[in-house]
Amino acid sequence: MSQDSNVRFSFSELEKHLGSRSFYTMMFNLIVLSLFFIQAVRAYVPGVYVAMFHVVFGHNIVENLFILLTMGFFAIPALTNTICKRVGIRRVLISAIYIIAISRLLIAFHLPNIWQTILSGVIVAVYGMFLSTFITLWVNNVSGETKIDNKVKFLAFSLLMAFLLDYLIRTIGFSQDISLLPPGLTADIWYITQYLWLIVQIPLTFGCIYFTRLYFPRFDSSTDLEDYDEIKRNSTVYSLIFIGMGAFWFLLFNIFLYPNIIAHYTATNYYINNIISIVALLAAILIIIRIDTASFVNLTTSIIQNVIILVWLVMFLFLGSLLMYVAVIMIAFTVIIFYLNFFVLLSHMATISFKWEKVKTISNAFAIGMVFYIIFTVFHIFATDWAYVVSAFKGFGPIIVLLAAIVLSFSTFISIRIHSIRRRA
């Protein structure tokens, strides 16, 4: 990656290399499948939370215990390497696209809650298989002259565009979060409007399947093995640093992806927070695609940025109601740095150059990240919603959020450090 770190990002280079149809098919699938993943995570965790509550307090224990057992789905991405060796990496990639698209369509029909939760868990797990196989085939594809840095930035751009779409969808009211109701919309009407999503979901699902069958690029699976021996010896280290991914998911899906939660901490207006959150995400996207990657893998710069935002995060968590919109602005810059940290971790994960072990590292990193996301989320639930049940956790919600931010920052530092060592080698 280092040799390409000063190359300006270019959509036209990617389009020229892949061809227009394959390029736009790939962009469509990355954005749409990532959107499905985001929606699935937002639906799955509340489903597990409700099931846990009912199991603890003895309501319909068998059904809800079955929902809790679906957390075993997160082990599925760790099996990607083995499955690829048996059936082929491209076949796993294409199958993952179909499974995610069809599962999301079924959820849109508003099946009973248990099946919505199960299908959401399937999407989250299979997305890990999709991401690891796609990155292995595409980023390490040696044909053509496309720079690796361009590929990684395009990948990050697509993922963050999915977050942006999720924001916009929830803004106009097609959300499964009742707390985000548009003005004057009653709960009954809200529930009916959810079926309008089918008008969008059906073409999205069939678009994923149709364009994948016809135009999804057939990558050359040959891989540069230059760093194979060195990275194989350190594969465990490369997987463990991505607990930062889990911290990133936790921070977004529990706090910063929801303007109403920011409004709760700061006693400010939800709609203004929503606009500021969207602007912060747009700023992160522009920074990533317009600024040289070398700026993101500078350890000194990263340390300064993360120390500043950790101080701001403390002020947001403990003084937010006093600082109000000052805290909102500070947290907007904090979230931008979180997205940049995510880009650093994603870049490092995507540019490790080896063959089957690459699938294993990425899929394991995804699985480890989701496990740590669940762990952080459970602790946060006990420290907030369930504080009356386990009084020892009461008041520790902000501490857990701060700890997750520290883990994300520390994982970013380790990632940059390892990248620097590899560049000097």
The answer to whether the CB of 119 falls within 8 A of the CB of 37 is no
In a shared domain, residues 187 and 43: yes
Q: Could you tell me which residues come within 8 angstroms of residue 295 by beta carbon, excluding any fewer than 6 positions away?
A: 301
Kindly state whether residues 40 and 67 are assigned to the same domain.
yes
Q: Indicate whether 160 and 119 sit together in one domain.
A: yes
Last residue of a domain, one of 158, 189, 222: 222
Does 42 lie in the same domain as 132?
Answer: yes
User: According to the model, what pLDDT value does residue 191 have?
Assistant: 60
Q: Which long-range contacts (CB under 8 A, 24 or more apart) does 269-277 make?
A: 272/325, 272/328, 273/328, 274/167, 274/171, 276/328, 276/329, 276/332, 277/167, 277/332, 277/335
Residues 57 and 187 in one domain: yes
Assigned domain for 5 exists: no
Contact 402, 380 (CB under 8 A): no
113 and 48 in a single domain? The answer is yes
Q: Which of 176, 201, 222 is the last residue of a domain?
A: 222
For residue 359, CA distances in Å to 364, 365, 385, 421 come to: 8, 10, 38, 22
Contact 330, 272 (CB under 8 A): no
pLDDT tens per residue across span 131-190? 888 888 887 665 555 677 778 888 889 999 999 998 888 877 544 443 334 444 455 555
Q: Are residues 174 and 274 in the same domain?
A: no
Chain segment 182-212, per-residue pLDDT in tens = 444 455 555 666 667 778 888 999 999 999 9
Domains of the chain: total: 2
Residue 282 burial class via C-beta count within 10 angstroms: exposed 0-12, middle 13-18, buried 19 and up? middle
Contacts of 216 (CB under 8 A, 6+ apart): 22, 25, 26, 29, 94, 97
pLDDT of residue 14: 79
Out of 188, 222, 256, a domain closes at 222
Amino acid type, 139:
V
- Rounded-to-integer distance, Cα 381 and Cα 306, Å: 26
Q: What pLDDT, on the 0 to 100 scale, is given for residue 3?
A: 47
Closest CA to 337 of 384, 301, 390: 301
Q: Name residues of the chain where pLDDT drops below 50.
A: 1-5, 174-185, 222-233, 354-356
Rounded to two decimals, the pTM is 0.86
Same domain for 157 and 66:
yes
Q: Are residues 198 and 233 in the same domain?
A: no
For the four alpha carbons of 406, 408, 410 and 413, in that order, the dihedral sign comes to negative
CATH number of the domain enclosing 129 = 1.20.1250.20
Shared domain for 169 and 62, answered yes or no, is yes
Angle between helix axes 356-383 and 325-350 (nearest 10 degrees) is 150
| CATH code (residue 303) | 1.20.1250
pLDDT of residue 311: 92
Instruction: Tell me: do 184 and 239 sit in the same domain.
Output: no
Which structural domain range is residue 246 located in? Answer: 225-425
**The pLDDT of residue 142:** 54
